[in-house]
Amino acid sequence: MKFPSLFGQRKYRPAKGRKPAATAPLSSGEEASDALEENLGRIRELFGDASDLNVRRLRIRSTGEEAAVVYLEGLTDKNAINNNVLKPLLGETDSEGVLSVTIGRVGWLTKWSDIVPAILKGKSVLFVEGRAEARVLGTEGWPQRSIEDPQLEASLKGAHQGFVETIEQNVALIRRYLPHRQLKFANLTVGRRGDTRVSIVYLADVANPEILKELEDRISQLDVDVIINTGELAELIEDNPYSPFPQLLVTERPDAAVSQIVQGRFVVLVDRSPGVLVAPAPFTSFFQSIDDYSTRWSIATFIRLLRFMAFFVSIGLPAFYIAVTSFNFELIPIKLLLAIGEYRGSVPFSPFVEAIFMELTLEMIREAGVRLPAPVGQTVGIVGGIVIGQAIVQAGLISNLMVIVVAFTAIASFILPNFDMVAAVRLIRFSLMIAAAMFGIFGIMIGMMVLIGHLIALESLGTPFASSFAPIRFSDWKDTFIRAPLWKMGRRPEGSRAVQSDRQGPTRPEGDGR
């Protein structure tokens, strides 16, 4: 079967032992004929017995031509077909002999290799007796959800509109924030079977064209069946897929995406997925939340610093516990050491086993909480409270301090605003625990050095992932470790390599007193 746009250039080979598909091979250049019956026969042949295929025959009132409208039931807007296609055709409006319908997006197609995908994507096609061209009508209308608050990234003061699964809607959400002619879109299609629409959004006079080219190159080189979700695209185009760290940011928030666009970055929209990709995404951008900009800057700065601290606590606290209780007793004050010894006296396991057991339990509770439906979800909390709580201590299985350590790490990891980064933190935590169990505090340090070495070598779309601290860029610190007052952020971050870096003037009104 030769059908380039749908099946690529692969040769068609019928599966063994099964009857070949009912469709006859379709050559790339095959065109629609001018005989209506022939066309409809071909359609039936190509679609087989698709239950949602609808062929509506009619006679155009004004010209008297025989015609047929072909569309897939569920993917089209019934209202549009009834009122804007069938009604004009059957009515008396067509005085000039042109097939006039009241649909915005229309076109003429002649090749079957164009017509079939059009139908598959929700357009309706009008065949007319005596014409070799088919009229394609943009009547798409598939099931979609309304715009809601993004679930994964809740926000207190930010907008309550999240991206949805339709790319047109998402484009509209972005345009609402930036009605500017320099907001440009680069449209690509990915997937042999899926034909997923992917759209790169950027400010043409701000964003760096080299990065755009790199991004376009990477996406257009993809050769996959279908892209179901943005996460898949991220994994396919990332610089280093073997790293635990996400190198591209996925967000469901239009306001966050737009804020990244004006910083000179690129946003990649993927049709059928509510998440959009932000690229390039440096390490520090995973610690920013859109609320930071709408709360008072001093509070936002405090929270930013808290997040970085939480990152280190979440990575290293269990490892540190293991190190001081099984290796480096000399590090902690003798009083505390004695207290730990008292608690640990009744515990039959080594600190490492204890810690691994508790951390794994915590991970399970978290994972269970994510997938369970809400009514059952409450049970997780109750049952989890027994495992991470007083009961397990009383049973003499785990020491008091370990429970505190686990609870502490859990809370610390909840502070981090990005889900992918939290996942990375969890993985690193376990490797550091193993290092600590083997070599104590020195093992942790080796682990941290490897982590640093890895972090500074990572790139996000060819820009340094660790940007703003290695290589050091003090001017970017205004919006990374701290959040400077908005009117001080006059320049776009250097890390995004924007070609036009002047963002705003020092335009804070000073009042009449000065």
Partner 1 sequence: MKKYAFNEITTIQYISLINGMTVSFGFIEIPADLHKKAGTGGLISLLLGTLVTMAASLIVVQIMRRFPNGTILDMLTRRVGKWAGRLAAVVIAAYFLFYGYIGIVYSTRVIKARVLQETPAYITLFLLLIPTYVVARNGFRVLGRYAELSIWLSLWIPFVFLLVWRHTNWNYLFPLLERGWLPILKAVPDTFFYFLGFFATTLFYPFLQKKEKASFAILTANGLTMLSYLFITILSFIFFSPEEMKEVNQPSIYMLKTIELRFIEQVEGLFIVMYMLIFSMSWIPPFLLSSFCAAWLFGRADHRLFLRVLMIGIVLFSCFYVPGLNTTYALSDKLTKVGTVLEYALPVPLLLFFMLQARISRKRSRRRRL
Q: Catalog residues that contact partner 1 under the rule CB under 8 A.
A: 328, 330-334, 337, 439-446, 449-450, 452-454, 456-457, 464, 466, 469-472
CB nearer to partner 1: give 315 or 444.
444
- CB-CB contact of 329 with 335 (8 Å): no
Question: Residue 417 or 447: which CB sits closer to partner 1?
Answer: 447
Going by the DSSP 8-state scheme, the letter that residue 309 receives in this structure is H
- Answer yes or no: are the C-beta atoms of 288 and 368 closer than 8 Å: no
What distance in Å separates the CA atoms of residue 211 and residue 284, rounded to the nearest whole number? 19
* Non-local CB neighbours of 424 within 8 Å, separated by 6+ positions: 244, 245, 246
Q: How would you class 111 by CB atoms within 10 Å of its CB: exposed for 0-12, middle for 13-18, buried for 19 or more?
A: middle
**Considering the complex, what minimum distance in angstroms separates the CB of residue 441 from partner 1?**
5
Specify the residue, 70 or 444, whose C-beta has the smaller distance to partner 1. 444
User: From the CB of 268, what's the least distance to partner 1, in Å?
Assistant: 25
Cα–Cα distance between 329 and 431 in angstroms, integer? 21
CB 466 → partner 1: shortest distance, Å? 7
Q: Residue 397 or residue 458: which is nearer to partner 1 going by CB?
A: 458
Crossing angle of helices 400-415 and 297-326, in 10° steps, is 150
* Closer to partner 1 by Cβ: residue 142 or 408: 408
The Cα 173–Cα 255 span in angstroms is: 9
Rg (CA), the chain: 30
Angle, helix 374-387 to helix 351-371, in steps of 10 degrees: 170
Nearest distance, CB of residue 475 and partner 1, angstroms: 13
Task: State the minimum distance, in angstroms, from the CB of residue 279 to partner 1.
Answer: 20
State the minimum distance, in angstroms, from the CB of residue 501 to partner 1: 18
- The token pair that represents 223 in the structure block: 């050769």
Choose between 353 and 456: whose C-beta lies nearer to partner 1: 456
Closest CB to partner 1 among residues 445, 484: 445
Residue 179 or 453 with smaller CB distance to partner 1: 453
CB of 122 to partner 1, least distance (A): 47
- Give the up-direction half-sphere exposure of residue 437: CA atoms within 13 A in the CB hemisphere: 14
Of the candidates 209, 296, 280, the one whose C-alpha atom is nearest the C-alpha of residue 240 is 280
Q: Least distance in Å: CB of 472 to partner 1?
A: 6
Strand order in the sheet with 66-72: 53-59, 66-72, 124-128, 134-137, 106-109
Q: Which is nearer to partner 1, 183 or 461 (CB)?
A: 461
The torsion of the CA quartet 417, 418, 424, 429, rounded to 10 degrees, works out to: 10
- CB of 484 vs partner 1, minimal distance in Å: 20
Number of CB atoms found within 10 A of residue 118's CB: 20
